[in-house]
Amino acid sequence: MELAELGLIGNCQLSALVSCQGAIVWSCMPRFDSPPVFGALLDPGGGQFSIAPSERHPGNQRYLPNTNVLETRFEGPDGAFRILDFAPRFIQHERSFRPTMLIRIVEPLSGTPRIRVSCDPILGWSRTRPDREIGSHHIAYKGYDAHLRLTTDAPLSYLNDDPWALTERKHFVLTWGAPVEEPLAPLCDRFLRETTRHWQQWVKHCDIPSIFQEEVIRSALALKLHCFEDTGAIVAALTTSIPEAPGSGRTWDYRYCWLRDSFYTLDAFRLLGQFEEREQFLQYLLNVASSSPDLDLAPLYAIDGKLCPAEQILENWAGFRGERPVRIGNGAATHQQHDVFGEMVLALTPMFLDARFRDQVTPPVLDLVDRLARRAIAVAGKPDAGIWEYRTNWRPQTFSTLMCWAAADRASMIARRHRPHHADELAASAARISTELLREAIDPARGCLTAGYGGTEVDAALLQAVTLHLLPPEDPRMQATVKAVQADLEHGGWLRRYRTTDDFGVPSVAFALCTFWLVEALARLGQIEEARIVMERVRNVRSPLGLLAEDLDPTTGIMWGNFPQAYSHVGLIHGAFAIAPRW
């Protein structure tokens, strides 16, 4: 199984990955960070919901245009059929209707195709099978915290993975909680129609650039599915433990919300012209920050705003393509990562500059921004794990200090508008941090920023110094930094994060986001044509559905890392807007 063979469906309450073989191989219920109901992605014995041709050959996948409704078509000697997979989502009674439900519609297209159907869920990380209770038109699975039921108008006797003839449209509805108690065919038809209309309308309300339109639309739809609408959290990915590269041991649980991602993700929704997601995520961030009076913030949180669970290794899981270990929870939650204060301030800044958020500019929120900025000023230049989350050998990280500068700089802008008596003090702190940065983190030989104080190596995060306006784009140090990053980290037309040894060795693959950072930096420096050439490489990724993982091996074109990765799609959106001509 390759990541390029998987499609994503969801409704901002749950999600699922569907293989081109017609199987749901990953889905956690009732929310993104719950234990899996289907986990074959990480272990052949991890359970799946399969609808496949009798010969078990792969199909061709596509999304219905401008939707998150996935179609998988199969053609065989007996005929052709298709599966429509989706999670219902639409507006009902002036509220978002997003039940914990997966719908699979199977219909013949020609001939009399023979298919196999098997629904084999598991009881979470134990991988044990639930007891089954057979009804007249449903199978109930016992042992979960809520009712898990498969309701269908297909004969239950056929759901044993043996071939049978598909002569008419059949419907399969898997529900967590309240079961379906109404006629199945009209319900599924209505939910399909309303869900398709909902996604197409959402896309119509998006701003898109004049080029790379299809890629941006798919990225926007994928990014939307990373939003947990109940709290406003946006997770880094919807999977855990897919390795960054074969044999790397770099397998992480990304089903959580990183504070670091907040600014960049919110800005992507700003570019798309989407307001609701920004407002919901800002409320999530405010809730997290207000729950820590001393602002001793963790780098990441669970989607309900609580601390991330402790990291565990599951020895009894085989891992994606046999790559171990399988992890749940994330040890990075215990790190000190000083850049988060800067990203929090950057994320909150639009509230004070955008008139649509005027009702949220309250004294407590102003106090919070001031406290975040002062915390950033206090930790600037001190050792931490940094953006790359080194587990050992902490040192002063240039990117962390850059974000501390950004916190002070943006807070001074906010203060000039809302609390003028604080503005000069914050501006002076920003100037002091930038002076320190340009004194301690410049390579005297190349004149570029370096990844850490007193070093000579670069990392890709330094590109953010250009887009955050640390110095004017014509400053030689900005030009030199972009050139050094390209020269040292280029890998088959893409960028690595860094080339130094970390806790697991030297990274061997490209990190997709870094290449999009390069696109933005080049565009900011006025090198638009070069930026467009770099951006074109995204079209060479082996991803038929346009979904991006965290990492890419440019030598093989194979994607690695958790999938889909929100940050990769956020980067694509930013890159496309950065290079697009005006309409």
Q: pLDDT tens-digit profile of 31-73?
A: 999 999 999 999 999 999 999 999 999 999 999 999 999 999 9
Mean pLDDT of the chain: 95
Supply the pLDDT for residue 257: 96
pLDDT surpasses 80 at 192: yes
Q: What percent of the chain stands above pLDDT 90?
A: 85
**Which residues does 341 contact at the CB level (< 8 Å), separation at least 6?**
295, 297, 372, 373, 375, 376, 379, 403, 404, 407
Task: Give the integer Cα–Cα distance in Å for 190 and 90.
Answer: 11
> How far is C-alpha 316 from the geometric centre of its chain's CA atoms?
27
Residue 159 has a CB neighbour count (10 Å cut-off) of 20
Residues 196 and 324 in one domain: no
Residue 124's domain is classified under what CATH number? Answer: 2.70.98.50
Secondary structure string (H, E, C) spanning 255-321: CCEECCHHHHHHHHHHHHCCCHHHHHHHHHHHHHHHCCCCCCCCCEECCCCCECCCCEEECCCCCEC
| The last residue of a domain, from among 149, 170, 203 | 203
Task: Give the integer Cα–Cα distance in Å for 49 and 45.
Answer: 12
Residues 182 and 236 in one domain: no
Supply the pLDDT for residue 126: 96
Residues 219 and 342 in one domain: yes
| The last residue of a domain, from among 152, 179, 203 | 203
Residues 307 and 430 in one domain: yes
Split into its structural domains, the chain has a count of 2
Residue 562 token pair? 């958790």
Residues 198 and 278 in one domain: no
Residues 164 and 310 in one domain: no
Residues 199 and 229 in one domain: no
For 212, what's the count of Cα atoms within 13 Å in the CB-facing half-sphere? Answer: 26
Query: In terms of DSSP bridges, do strands 233-234 and 90-92 run parallel, antiparallel, or are they unpaired?
Result: unpaired
Residues 219 and 128 in one domain: no
Residue 359's domain is classified under what CATH number? Answer: 1.50.10.10
Q: Which domain holds residue 165?
A: 3-203
Residues 197 and 237 in one domain: no
Q: pLDDT tens-digit profile of 455-470?
A: 999 999 999 999 999 9
Residues 51 and 79 in one domain: yes
Residue 351 token pair? 């509230």
Task: Give the integer Cα–Cα distance in Å for 11 and 99.
Answer: 8
245-268: burial string, b at 16+ Cβ within 10 Å, e else? beebebbbbbbbbbbbbbbbbbbb
Please report the DSSP string for 433-481 in residue order: HHHHHHHHSB-TTT--B-SBTT-----GGGGHHHHTTSS-TTSHHHHHH
Residues 519 and 552 in one domain: yes
3-state secondary structure of 45: coil
pTM comes to: 0.96
Supply the pLDDT for residue 162: 96
Residues 189 and 158 in one domain: yes
Q: For residues 31, 37, 41 and 42, what is the CA-based torsion angle, rounded to 10 degrees?
A: 100
| The last residue of a domain, from among 203, 235, 252 | 203
Give me Rg for the CA atoms of the chain.
24
Supply the pLDDT for residue 157: 95
